[in-house]
Amino acid sequence: MKKTNALLGLAAAAMVASPAVAQDRAGDVQLKVLGTAVLPDGEIEDVNVDLVGLPAGTDTRATDNFVPTVAVEYFFTDNFSLETIAGVTQHDVDTVSGFPPGTELVSDALLLPATVTGKVHFDAAGFKPYLGAGVAYFMWLSDEPGAATLPLGVTDTDLTDEFGFVLQAGVDVPVGNDGFGVTLDAKRYFIGTTAQWFAGNTLVIETDHNLDPWVLSAGVSYRF
């Protein structure tokens, strides 16, 4: 709830600000190097296949991660840009109910969250807040069966790649007049995945999961 209120606060600040007019930025490119916290949900939405008899009320969560990311942004006009991010993040999927908390079901799932957002920028007393929205494609580069599933005969785990969308809000703060700055950014993704566990060639469990991560970043920027 606190993260939701923070995102709404950034949005409100941007809505009352004036469009950026201090400098003609059409054609500019902005690079950002960020430290990023990836905070997914991971709860079970549906159980499609269950040949092992999961305990009633079984639910899961995906672990958080902190990773470096890079953002590249192109300004088409003074106050409209397109941005994409580059980075990978690794997560486990653990139980929160039905089994002892922390029981590992998926291990070392490596995610590439391909993302493109359109952003509207504003000017507020030297600060440059923005709002954005866009699309994302979550690609799982690798995943392994969790330690708790191996004694049950699980030999493979797969997480499906999926499309979704993303909302964004943040602020750029110029430092000096040479294009450098600092930046704060918050994204909320709306996207899921289907997890499958196999014993040999037999699909024994299939569950749909809400990922819906918050992705919170802070770092430095350079515009040229």
3-state secondary structure 167-223: EEEEEEEECCCCCEEEEEEEEEEECEEEEEEEECCEEEEEEEEECCCEEEEEEEEEE
Q: Where are the domains of the chain?
A: 2-223
Which class in CATH covers the domain with range 2-223? mainly beta
Q: What is the pLDDT of residues 50-94, one digit of tens each?
A: 998 899 899 999 999 999 999 999 999 989 999 999 999 999 999
How confident is the model at residue 18, as a pLDDT? 42
Asked if the model's pLDDT at residue 23 lies above 50, the reply is yes
